[in-house]
Amino acid sequence: MSPDELAPELGRLQAAGLYRRRRVLGGPQQPRCLVDGRPMLSFCSNDYLGLANHPEVVAALCRGAERWGVGSGTAHLVNGHCAAHEALEEELADFTGRPRALLFSTGYMANLGVISALAGRGDTVFEDRLNHASLLDGALLSRATLRRYPHGDPAALGRMAAEGPPRLIATDGVFSMDGDLAPIRALARIAREAGAWLLVDDAHGLGVLGREGRGTLNHLGLDARAVPILMGTLGKALGTFGAFVAGSEELIETLVQRARSYIYTTAAPPALAEATRTSLAIARREAWRRERLQTLIQRLRAGAAQLGLPLADSSTPIQPLMAGNAARALAWGQGLESAGILVTPIRPPTVPEGTARLRITLSAAHTESDVDRLLDALGALPRRAAA
């Protein structure tokens, strides 16, 4: 196939309003930033606690580089696992209330590694229809049979599981595009009755929900017996980069031995682990960040209700403004951008057809006046676009 044969599909994406373009950030990740050379107020980052440019975290990264250098040089199982990685794993295990934690390069790699290590040909993996792509791809790459149940519907999952027991059930904790919480308590019951593993991807709950930001499971009062496998990311609320899986001694040791996305990749820079140790400590001690988030969420939702804006039902920093079709989502995004506000339109295939939206996300680094400015800009959109 020649490059010219790819052009028609690229043209089709452009015509359908589904073409994606990268923007160039001209400074650190924070609400007020320089995007493509223009000052913007951003509402589309996952930096929920405002730690990505925190001076203590930046200083820890610099100190870590001075001590450990930049690259780790090789995989964890060769000679790339240093004392900084080990310390971070121990602190993440304590944070999540589990015996051990294991670092992965990204959340995507963590989910691929867990599912392929625990399920394979002849097994069945059940997943929520709106799960993150990494969970879905993990099941497909494991060569297990993937069955998807209707979003947030444990009754449907129960009926499907009765037809053939699953090896593993996987779900987002907080769904990344909708901001709603999975019915994890009901899923845990089904998994227990079926004798299946339950994996919760808490990328968007960790740091935001629960005591000290311990995540969705802590928020719901669920422990490791209810949810044996917890995956969390470090590049969202914790403001750095990477991911981890937390669980029993036996689970983590199995992943060390069998998770290909752990075994066959270079370890993350140890300086990054030092930065994450600092951001984790800040997240645990500074409850005001989560309190401010809740204040901003309530302010946004109250203002949107007054304007008649169709926000999805979410109590998390993810506040989707439903547009329906891709063209409308693009028009909304362009209208906000003309007012100096950045909110990325989310279109298929990231979300199902007919559910395009603006995915508004809030950070503890935002102010109430930032939210008011966003509401003013939303209110100024043409009624046909804002209704």
Closest CA to 268 of 295, 318, 226, 233: 233
| Catalytic status, residue 236 | yes
Residue of 176, 261, 279, 363 with catalytic role: 176
Is 116 part of the annotated catalytic residue set?
no
What are the backbone dihedrals phi and psi of residue 61, each rounded to the nearest 5 degrees, phi first? -65, -45
- pLDDT at residue 92, rounded to an integer: 98
User: What's the confidence (pLDDT) of residue 264?
Assistant: 97
51-90 pLDDT tens trace: 999 999 999 999 999 999 999 999 999 999 999 999 999 9
Amino acid at 373: R
371: buried, middle or exposed (CB in 10 Å: 19+, 13-18, 0-12)? buried
In angstroms, rounded to a whole number, what is the distance separating the alpha carbons of residues 64 and 61?
5
176 a catalytic residue: yes
Cβ atoms 49, 289 nearer than 8 A: yes
The Cα–Cα gap between 238 and 280 comes to 6
pLDDT of residue 16: 84
Residue 2 pLDDT? 76
Rounded distance between C-alpha atoms, residue 97 and residue 246, angstroms: 9
Q: What's the pLDDT tens digit per position in 233-289?
A: 999 999 999 999 999 999 999 999 999 999 999 999 999 999 999 999 999 999 999
Indicate the fold that domain 55-285 takes in CATH. Answer: Aspartate Aminotransferase; domain 2 (3.40.640)
Q: How far apart are CA 304 and CA 357, in angstroms?
A: 15
Q: Which residue numbers in the chain have pLDDT < 70?
A: 1, 382-387
Dist CA 166 CA 173 (whole Å): 19
Given the residues 54, 76, 132, 204, select the one marked as catalytic.
204
**Measured in Å, how far apart are the chain's first and last C-alpha atoms?**
45
**Is domain 24-49+287-386 classified as CATH 3.90.1150.10?**
yes
Query: Which of the residues 116, 236, 314, 363 is marked catalytic?
Result: 236
How do the domains of the chain map onto residue ranges? 24-49+287-386, 55-285
